[in-house]
Amino acid sequence: MPKHATILAVNKHLHPVRLATYTSRCGNDPYLALELYKWNLQLSAAFQQVLAVTEVALRNSIDEQLRIWNAGQPRHSPPGGTHGRDWLLDPARPLNSLTRDSRRTATNHATAADGTRDAAHPRKGVPVTHDDILAQITFGVWPKLLPTKITTDTSYRARRILWQQALHHAFPHNTNDPNGYIVADRAGRLHGLRNRVSHMEPLLGVNITARHNDALRLLAAISPEVRDWCAGMSTVIEIRRKCPIEL
């Protein structure tokens, strides 16, 4: 156990307000509160690994299908013909309206990233590519492309079109979910968890097992092999069992 002075110093510099959630769960025991805080950091780090794999697999699977779909869509303005595969630079309807703001932001970030590269970097000054922009698209964009049950949502029809024409192919192992609602709900919940983890917020009220299952089942809908690999790497459930208090 750390010295009393150490406990007081850490509580002071992490700030009592930040630790209040942990302290209240530990009967105002400052040492136990710090143990719980440390456990929360470890759990966040473990979830971060699982979420990182899930986000990249989700992004790339959706991107692959959007490239195929976009290339076959008619262009409704001159010069006519069809759109190209690069949906981030030349999106067809209704993808253009669904992603307008996120594409603009991602393009700006990709351009800025080039400015921070060292002069000796092999890609310094190279034009921004589809993959550069794709890497800057945030997790929160993907759930908003997937179907919603809310028929009054202004994007309801557009998301339904994308699911039916393209995005259901991004989840080839998805079963008993023809409308894509289960996939969409899992992606949405994982986005919420990612925000909590990224901001180092308490996970004490999170159903840890359920969110871990969300990630693995979403991966399984994309690729059972990736799911198995991620499950074998994950330490989320192991760390959950080591919680210093009863959740």
The predicted pLDDT at position 8 comes to: 86
Peptide bond into 79 cis (omega under 30): yes
Greatest extent of the chain over all pairs of C-alpha atoms, in Å: 74
Rg (alpha carbons) of the chain, rounded to whole number = 22
- Per-residue DSSP letter, 53: H
Given a cut of 90, whether residue 88 has pLDDT beyond it is yes
Peptide bond into 94 cis (omega under 30): yes
pTM: predicted TM-score of the whole model, two decimal places:
0.94
Query: Quick one: pLDDT band at residue 133, thresholds 50, 70, 90?
Result: very high
Q: How far apart are CA 54 and CA 222, in angstroms?
A: 10
Q: What is the mean pLDDT of residues 61-76?
A: 96
Given a cut of 80, whether residue 1 has pLDDT beyond it is no
For the chain, give the percent of residues with pLDDT over 70.
100
Peptide bond into 147 cis (omega under 30): no
